[in-house]
Structure 1
């Protein structure tokens, strides 16, 4: 009976999108594993005139922020990701099932956060491998987890403009 109530609560909230978090995590880890097994560190393979696959390690946060800070940043960013993940789960639980866009956004960010925190805990760094560039300018390398976090953030901003509360405020 208790598990039926718990399942019912999950289906009536944003938690019904947790499968998306699991999918993001799995895709992220599978792609990172493929790169780690196939590429030497710093190896790069041109795919298109503006995109390479590359094997790099990010010891910092987004855009390698604090990557050369001496090691403490590993646990600092891990702690932040754990707190944010707990908040995302709570927000997903509080989000009514009808509000799909924010729940999907939370699920994407959660899956990405867990993917990167897994790397930090297991390896001490995050594996990045997507390298986009124009001419000689390269954006910082990133991974599937980073992509999911960015897409989730964009969806949350979009939802803030599309939600009934935002329309009422206008």
Structure 2
């Protein structure tokens, strides 16, 4: 049970992501928007057949399988890095966040054929693409993994 807290982190990320998506799917029609913070934040229901910033979204459908395989490959690489002790504690936590987020979106691809997005931030006419809880776990996890890598690099140079 050496990695129990990491398994729990990944599973909690997936569960929070799926609960939030099912709540939005239950209350919203496609493309509906509800303003939460005027001129800054809305909840909406949109879908993404691609990846971040709709990368590859306008293709014929092969990208769904590509992103599913990519999630498994990256998650396997991260899990192996954790197992081999390549990350510090922060990096291990970050890897679990990324894995949980990646599989939250994989679940969407299997169930819906696309990813459910619903968080929309904007200012005047400038919009950040809609995203979801899984994307948040992935982004924060990547940032923490970079910080961990910098910390580990300093440790290795000092040794």
The TM-score, its normalising length taken from structure 1, stands at 0.86
What is the total number of aligned residue pairs between the two structures? 157
Q: Secondary structure at the match of 2:81?
A: helix
Equivalence for 1:93: 83
Corresponding residue to 1:54 among 28, 44, 52? 44
- Mark the structure with the bigger radius of gyration: 1
- The CA deviation at 1:15 is 5.5
Map 1:46-85 → 2, pairs under 5 A:
46-49=35-38, 50-85=40-75
Equivalence for 1:21: 10
Alignment RMSD: 1.7
**Gaps (5+ residues) in structure 2?**
none
Q: Any idea what the Cα deviations from partners look like across 1:22-70, whole Å, max 9, x if unmatched? A: 0000000000000011000000000002110010000111111111101
Corresponding residue to 2:157 among 130, 154, 169? 169
Q: Secondary structure at the match of 2:122?
A: strand
Map 1:7-46 → 2, pairs under 5 A:
7=1, 11=2, 14=3, 16-46=5-35
The TM-score, its normalising length taken from structure 2, stands at 0.92
Contact 1:54 1:129 in 2 (8 A): yes
Equivalence for 1:3: none
Q: In the superposition, relative to structure 1, how do residues 101 and 24 fare at CA in structure 2: closer, same or farther (>3 Å)?
A: same
- The CA deviation at 1:122 is 1.4
Q: Any idea what the Cα deviations from partners look like across 1:97-134, whole Å, max 9, x if unmatched? A: 9x310110000000000000111111100000000001
Corresponding residue to 2:114 among 104, 114, 125? 125
- The CA deviation at 1:89 is 1.8
